[in-house]
Amino acid sequence: MTEVAFPFRIDARGRTADATRPEHVRDLVEQVLFTAPGERVNRPSFGAGLLRMVHEPAYADIGATTGLLVQGALQETLGHIVEVERVDARSEGSALIVEVTYALRATGERREERFRQEVT
């Protein structure tokens, strides 16, 4: 089964790009991580708002607090799809690095994903 790829784009065939189920779930995790709560219409609690954490005074010590915030947002939004095992967040220069380990509930497949977002 295929899903619509994120971000939405047209593929080489001139059709909507698609993604496998594991790729789609990874895309969903990314959306939760980098969407600010209140940003989505009719879904005010959607998102972890990681990018706003960059501007917090304790940016260098982002680890534990951010990990708990992200894990809670992922469980609330995607808890029916994934079981979150671990979340690590840190800064590298001007980038925010987030590593998430989760298991797909449908298959039990364990995935480790790394997300990098440049901060300007």
pLDDT at site 57: 54
- Domains of the chain are 2-118 (3.10.450.40)
Per-residue model confidence (pLDDT) at position 69:
83
User: What's the whole-number mean pLDDT along residues 13-19?
Assistant: 94
Q: How far apart are CA 7 and CA 22, in angstroms?
A: 15
pLDDT at 62: 58
pLDDT given for residue 24 in this prediction? 94
Per-residue pLDDT tens over the stretch 35-82: 988 888 999 989 988 877 665 555 555 566 777 888 899 999 999 999
Question: pLDDT digits over 73-101, tens only?
Answer: 999 999 999 999 999 888 777 788 889 99
Spatial distance between the Cα atoms of 118 and 78, rounded to a whole number of angstroms? 24
pLDDT of residue 79: 94
Mean pLDDT value of segment 16-39: 92
Distance between CA atoms of residues 11 and 81, nearest Å? 26
The reported pLDDT for the residue numbered 63 is: 63
Query: How distant is the alpha carbon of residue 67 from its chain centre?
Result: 12
